[in-house]
Structure formats: structure tokens, C-alpha cells
Structure 1
Amino acid sequence: MTETPVAARPGMALHTKMLIGFAVGVAAGIAANLLFADAPWLEALIAYVTDPIGQLFLRLLFMLVMPLVFSALVLGVVEIGDPRALGRIGTKTLLWVLAVTTIAVSIGLLMVNLIQPGTGLPPEVGEGLLAASSDRAAEIATAREGVSGIQILLNIVPRNPVEAAANGDLIAVMFFALMFGVAATVIRSRSTRSFVDAVQGIYDICLKLIGWVIALAPYAVAALLFSITAKLGFDVLVQLARFVGTVLAALAIHFFVVFPLLLRLFGGMGPLAFLRGAQPALLTAFSTSSSSATLPTTLKVTVDNLGVPSRVARFVCTLGATANMNGTALFEGITVLFLAQFFGVELTIAQQVMILVLCIFGSIGAAGVPGGSLPVIAMILAMFGIPPEGIGLILGVDRLLDMCRTVVNVGGDMAGSVVIGRSEGKAESLQQAA
């Protein structure tokens, strides 16, 4: 008698596991804070179990930052291509990405400075958190020192890109990658194409590794949040709620104010008509949290519902799925400043401007998959002496925020297609009239 094979049950969704890890870490940490705040065994548990688990997860993220950012930026520039060959569309797309992403990050930095979601903890608590890891004390003190504007400008260009990568100098590596990508578009040789193929392979490998690392996130979330809540208790939950509210408010302003203005002024389309046509892609983006996974729907909706020429939609939306990450850039900026406020790290205006630049280019280097921005955020935190352990606070609520910022990312791709498609139509009409 043969047995009927039993179909394998589908596994629990990652965001569900992450939510469970969040709940377990917070509940256990608060209980430990209320019942065993000064117990030696609790300090030992944090020092020898939960903190190392969280640190291991963060190290895995750091491991992927440099190859991910370098390969993504090189491929992004190559896909934009030589403006002389791509003509008007390539130039307009590049300008759209830079302009709209700059607006998004500026909104995020303005909101987080106005609302101050990370403030409220007693200063001694923040200092105690910073001093909890003695091996980071010198790094944090150095990061707090002011740096002149000229020195910031000079540091953008690395003397040695390998040394810059080894030292975690992200903006210098970004500059080197951008120059590499520009040169790769100019040299149209077989060996250059082979190099670009190799960079594509590095990027694909990084995406696979990120998928494996993010699969460990539920356990890291539980460990990191247990460590923080065991030290702070309920105070950390108040700060986290303010952070979520700040991110959602900033995303709403960018989506419901900035996009409609740009569409009305430059695209000749009303916001309601845009929302009705773009609705299928926006819903797909919200459910998948992935610009890349939404791309087929985005292309179809942009051409069929929004009336954008297919050649424009293919270029703008395909490039936008990896390079035009308005919502991601906004989220990165708010996250970095929120954690700086949370841990009591003072950032000068010059440092905040540098964060703005890093978020603009870091969003280009962020993978268009769920959680793809986390390695970039972790590296920016380390650059400014902000304890990256704080990313555990963000991971617990990241699923909702990821869904919302992906809607903004995809909406930005479609809005850009409408604006650029209209300008192309005008340009072609002028050429025919001439």
C-alpha cells in the first residue's frame, strides 16, 4: 500500500517572523527591566548572548555594504549610459532622480529636526548607552568632532579607493564607483562589457547574500530589542512610536504634495487621474515591498493607464526600480538622525548635509528588494559614530515602513515617466514642425 505524499506547508512569512521577534524581544526585555533590572545574571545574558547575536547580524550587513554599493552604482550609471547616445531621455531621467530624491531627503531631514522623535531620554541614559561598548568610545568621540567644509569636499575624492573601502568611507567609495561607471559607458569595448557583466554578477551575489542575512533578522530583532528594552523599559516604545509617525508623515507629504505638484506643473496630469491609473502598481508595491518585483506591473500600468510611450516607460521605470528610490532615501535620512537623537550624538549642519548626500547616492545603491536599504543605513550609522545596534529598533517596525516607502518609490518612477513622456512629446512635435 503506497502512502499519499503530504504536501509541504508553506513557511511563515518573513515579516510575520520579524513581528514575532519584535514582540518577544520587547516583552522579554520589559519584563527583565521591571523584575531583574540590577541582576548580575541579566547583565551577563546581555553581554554574552543577546549583544553578540545582534553584533553578528550587524557584521553580516557591514560585510555586504561595499560590494553592494559599488556594483549597484556602477550598473546604475551604465544603465543611464552616455547622454550623447541616449539623448534627451537619459539626461532627463538623471535630473529627475537627483532632483526628486534631493527633495525627499530634505523633507525627511526637516521633519526629523522639527519633530525630534529621538529626543526625550534623560542625557545620562543616552551617554550610558554610548559608553556601553568601550571599543566604540574613541570612534564616537572622533565622529563628534567638527570637520571643515573644505575637508568634507576633499574627502569625497579618495586617495586610495581600497583604503577608503577598508575604512568604511562610504562617500569616497560612491564617488569612485560613479567615476568607474561613467568611464565604463564611454569605453564601448568587449573587455568593458565583460567587466560590466562581472559587476552584474557581484550585484546578483550581493542580493542573494542579503536575502540570507535578512532571513536571520527575526532572531537579531529579538536579541537587539531585548538588550535595549532591558536597559530602558517602556521609554524606548514611546520613542519608536514617534519615529514611525515621523516617517509616515514625511512619506505622505512627498507622495501627496510633491508628486501632485510636479505632475500638475510638468506632466499636465491631475493627481486623481494619476492615482486612478497607477492604483494597480501602487497596491502591488504595497503588498510586495519590492520595486523590482513590482516592475512588470509598473511597466504595464504606465503604458496602458497613464498613456506614457513604451520606449520612455521601459527606460525610466526599469532604471527607477534600482536608482529612483525617493522613499528609501527619505527613510534612510530620518533613521540616521532619529538614532543620533536617540543615543545623544550631536550632528553639525555640515554632517547633516553629508548625510543628505549619502542618502541620495545610498538610495541608488540600495537593492530594490525588501530590506535592501538596511546595509547602507548600518554603514552610515557607523560613519557618524551612531551605535548601529540601534537598527534593531527599526527592524521591528520596518515591514510597515518598507511597504509605505516602496509605494513612494514606485509612484516616483511612474510620475517621472509621465513628466518625461510629456516633455518628449513636446520635443518631437517641435522637431516635426521645424
Structure 2
Amino acid sequence: MTSNKKLGLTTRILIGMGLGITVGMFFNLLTDSGQNPLALDLGVFTFSVKEFFVDGIFNIGGQIFVSSLKMLVVPMVFVSLVCGTCSLNDTSKLGRLGGKAVGLYLLTTAIAITTAITLALIVSPGVGANLTADVNFTAKEAPSLAQVFIDMFPTNPIDAMAKGNMLQVIVFALLFGIALALSGTTGERLNTLFSDLNVVIMKLVTILMNLAPYGVFCLMAKLFTTIGLGIIIKLSLYFGLVLAVLFIHALVVYPVLLKMLTGLNPAIFLKKMKDATLFAFSTSSSNATMPVTLETATKKLGVKNSIASFTVPLGATINMDGTAIMQGVATVFIAQAFNVDLTVSDYLMVILTATLASIGTAGVPGVGLIMLAMVLQQVGLPVEGIALIIGVDRLLDMTRTAVNVTGDCMVSCIVGKSEKEFDANVFNNPAAGTEAESVDFHHLHGSSEKA
């Protein structure tokens, strides 16, 4: 425990990530020849050290960590949104919040895919590949935009919570919070209960954050043992280009928008996003990272809970900037690889389709590939081309998630500042939120948390 006090959470996560990658690549290199030199023949059975660690300890540890994060998502979103909605003086404010948040998310998505297509046309990652459609890929069918709006309203809110349907949970929490605010003394009593529950849930998030280095180690060790390093070399130009555009979007586009619309210091913002982006990178899931994202937005960036409790879950559901970047580069790559010429109107259609699809496919499993299939079909490209890039998509997906989470917090800051629901002192305080990252497990009753 003493070492934990000396090292910050970010440092410990980075150490866990580095060790995990090293161990994973060690196992990967040992078995790269197709043999298993770490298998011991004990006569009755064969004991595989690799399977014991990779499929056993690393897999179990990583899955438990991700499952623990997902466990908190629904109760955290519901309780936090109810508290945030109930605290609004004017319920019509929700309309403004929704309009600003959705508008900003669509704007950043359009910028992302436009940048991706432009740079892909300049770099030309697929020129010379001369491929034919002899590979197979079957994408799930995406629901229509009308059906998505219909499905936002739950027939059974308990079922929506059990299935983790975030749009339905958000809608029910908003309606429940409004009803609570209109219920007088009864609502005030329940609001006090929800406020206390919110404090307890955020403390659960802190506990999991302290266990994150071990979970991240297991996830990285498992991933880098199984990932095919050879295919990354073959698709190095595509891989590098997507990675470059993701970094440009996170480190240039977001800071510029933040500075232009709020006047806040982008360097402070990016520095305070470290923990959330590391969580997002290791879990590759915006939903699983949501508890950490919300804590970062409220405790470190100074966004009031009444704003962040709405914008963060909404962003985790519909903000697809990272995916849009992959779609832009992948569209150009597949078109060039199959020698298909696309016109300017085709690329404009790609931008429009991908931007609107970021809402239309919200909450659908495998959303990135579904959206890419829709885009390819829209401009007459072979959907089978998706199979060419699946091999490197896992690593890119991790980076995309980190970019998306950064976008969620950036939009939260802009909306919070515009609604005067933002604490600049918290934002400018480098130590804000860090005191809540440590947990003294030896003195459980000695660390009371204020509401």
C-alpha cells in the first residue's frame, strides 16, 4: 500500500499497461512459429503455461475488471441523471442541453470524417493493392433512424436497465427526475436518497480505479499475446494513417474547439484527461469507461453534475468521432484497393451518411463495422473489403475509444460553460479530484465523503 501512495494513479496504470504489453509480446513471440515451447507433457495431460496464463489468469482478470466497470454504468447513469435533472430550476433547460450536446457531437463527427477523407486522399493508403472481392464479411443490419427514435422510449425500464440500453435508461431517468422535481416534499426526500446513492456509487468508481493497474495489465497481456503483429506490418500505411488522424483530432481539433468556444486552457484539459483516456484505451469501450469519464468531468474538469450527467452518457452512446475517422480512411483505402473511383459527390455522401449514422446506429453491437458497411453500400463499394482491415481494427478501436471519451468531456465543458454550470476553479486546480482517487482499505470508516 505504501507504494500506491508514492505513485499516482496514472503512473500505476501506465506501469500496468507497459508490463502487460511486454508480457503479451513475450508469449506472442514464443508461439509465433506455430509451436508451443511452454507446453509440459506430464503424461496424463499436457500442461500449457501459455494457456494457463493467457486463457486463464489474464483472461479472467481482464474480463472481471471490464465487467466490474460495466456493472456500475446503469446505476451510475440512472442515479446521476435523476440527481442532475431534479436539480434543474427550469425543465425546459433540457431542450437547450440536448440541442447543444447533439449539435456539438454531430459537428465534431463531421469534422472527423472530413479530415480523415482529406488526408486519406493525399496519402493514398490503398493505391497499388489491386485487390478483388474474394473475401467475405457479413455486417449486421442497422435499424432506421425512425426506429431508433421509437426505441428510445422503453416499454419496460427495468428490462432496459438489465439489457444496458443506454438511450432508454437516459430517457427514463430524465422523466423520473422531472417527476421528482415536481413532487414537492416527497420528491425532496427521494432526492436526498438519490444524492446519497450518487456519492456511494462514485466511491465504488474510486475503488475500481485503484484496482485498474491490475485489470489493465491483464487486458494488455491477453491482447498482445493474441494480436497478429504481421498483419499490422502489411497494413502499416492504413494503420498509421488512421492513428495519425485520431491524434490530430484529439490533440488539435478538440483543443481548438475548446479554446474557441470557452476560452479554457486546452493543455490543462488534456492533462486532466489522462486517466479517463487510459481507461478507454485499455477497455476499448466508452460505456465501460463511463464511470471514470463522469468522475473526470465533474471532479477534475469542474462541469456540474446537472450537465455532465446528461452529456457524458449521451456522448458515450452517440459520439462516434473515432469511428468516423476509421470510416473515412477505410472508405478511401477500400476504394483504392479495389480500383474504384469515387466522385466528390460520393465523398460528400460518405460524410453525410456517417455523420447521421452516428445517431442512427447508437447502441447497436459492433456499431463501427455496421456504420462502415452502411457507408460502403451507399457509394457502391464492396462490403467484403471490411474483412481486409479487421485484423488491425482491435488496436485502432482502443485508440478510437480514447478519442471518443476525450470528445465527451470536451463537449461537456463547452455545454457546462455556456449554461454557467461550470466551476473554473476546479478546472484550473491541478490537484482537483486527485484526493478522491485513493482509498484507505485499512480504515473503512475513516474516510467519509461529503455529498
Q: TM-score, normalised by structure 1?
A: 0.56
- Which residue of 53, 73, 79 maps to 1:68? 73
Amino acid at match of 1:75: S
5+ residue gaps, structure 1 = 1-5, 131-140, 264-273, 300-315, 363-376, 423-434
Structure 1 residue 170, shift from structure 2 partner: 3.7
Deviations along 1:187-238, one digit per CA (max 9) or x if unpaired, are 3421353245335534542453355356311221121122012573534765
CA distance in 1, matches of 2:270, 2:81: 26
Query: Closer, same or farther in 2 for the Cα pair 1:415/1:198, shift >3 Å?
Result: closer
CA distance in 2, matches of 1:291, 1:90: 18
Q: Is 2:152 aligned against 1:156?
A: yes
In structure 1, distance between residues paired with 2:230 and 2:134 = 11
Q: Distance in 1 between matches of 2:258 and 2:210?
A: 31
When the two structures are superposed, what TM-score results if normalisation uses the length of structure 2? 0.55
The corresponding residue for 1:99 is 103
| 1:300-347 deviation per Cα after TM superposition (whole angstroms, max 9, x unaligned) | xxxxxxxxxxxxxxxx555556555599759962444677898x99x9
Q: Which amino acid aligns with 1:65?
A: K
Identity over aligned pairs, percent? 14
CA 1:338 to 1:18, structure 2 compared with 1: closer, same or farther past 3 Å?
farther
Alignment partners' CA distance in 1, 2:323 and 2:232: 22
- Judge conservation of contact 1:298–1:414 (CA < 8 Å) in 2: yes
1:22 aligns with 2:21: yes
Tell me the distance in 1 between the aligned counterparts of 2:99 and 2:297.
Answer: 23
The 1-side partners of 2:267 and 2:146 are apart by 48
Distance 1:68 1:8 in 2: 26
Question: SS where residue 147 of structure 1 aligns?
Answer: coil
Specify the code of the residue in structure 2 equivalent to 1:215.
Y
The equivalences for 1:224-373 within 5 A come to 224-229=223-228, 232=231, 234-235=233-234, 240-252=239-251, 254-262=253-261, 274=263, 278=265, 281-282=268-269, 284-285=271-272, 292=295, 317=304, 319=306, 323-324=310-311, 333-336=320-323, 353=356, 355-356=358-359
Structure 2: distance between partners of 1:122 and 1:212: 48
Name the one with the larger helix percent.
1
CA contact (8 A) 1:161 1:172 kept: yes
String of CA shifts for 1:332-387, please: whole Å, max 9, x gaps. Answer: 62444677898x99x9988974544787xx9xxxxxxxxxxxxxx99967999999
Q: What do residues 135-176 of structure 1 show as CA deviations (whole Å, max 9, x unaligned)?
A: xxxxxx5x6124334433332223333334444544333333
- 1:230/1:94 CA distance change after superposition, 3 Å: closer
Q: For 2:266 and 2:320, how far apart are their aligned partners in 1?
A: 27
Aligned residue for 1:179?
Answer: 175
Give the structure 1 partner of residue 83 of structure 2: 78
Distance 2:317 2:146 in 1: 26
Question: Is 2:37 aligned against 1:50?
Answer: no
Structure 1 pair 167–409 and aligned structure 2 pair: CA distance change class (3 A)? closer
Q: Distance in 1 between matches of 2:134 and 2:213?
A: 28
In structure 2, relative to structure 1, the CA distance for the partners of 1:292 and 1:420 (3 Å cut) is same
SS in 1 for 2:154: coil
1:106–1:125 distance in 2 versus 1, CA, 3 Å: same
Alignment of 1:123-142 (within 5 A): none
Unpaired stretches in structure 2, ≥5 consecutive residues: 40-47, 277-292, 335-349, 374-385, 422-451
Distance 1:255 1:382, change over 3 A: closer
* One-letter identity of the residue aligned with 2:254: F
Superposed CA RMSD in Å reads 5.6
Paired amino acid for 1:159: T
CA distance in 1, matches of 2:4, 2:202: 32
Cα distance in structure 2, aligned partners of 1:156 and 1:294: 25
Partner of 1:144, secondary structure, is: coil
Structure 1 residues 271-322: Cα deviation after superposition (integer angstroms, max 9, x where no partner): xxx36xx3784475256657856867756xxxxxxxxxxxxxxxx5555565
Q: CA deviation at 1:24?
A: 4.4
Distance in 2 (alpha carbons) for counterparts of 1:58 and 1:254: 33
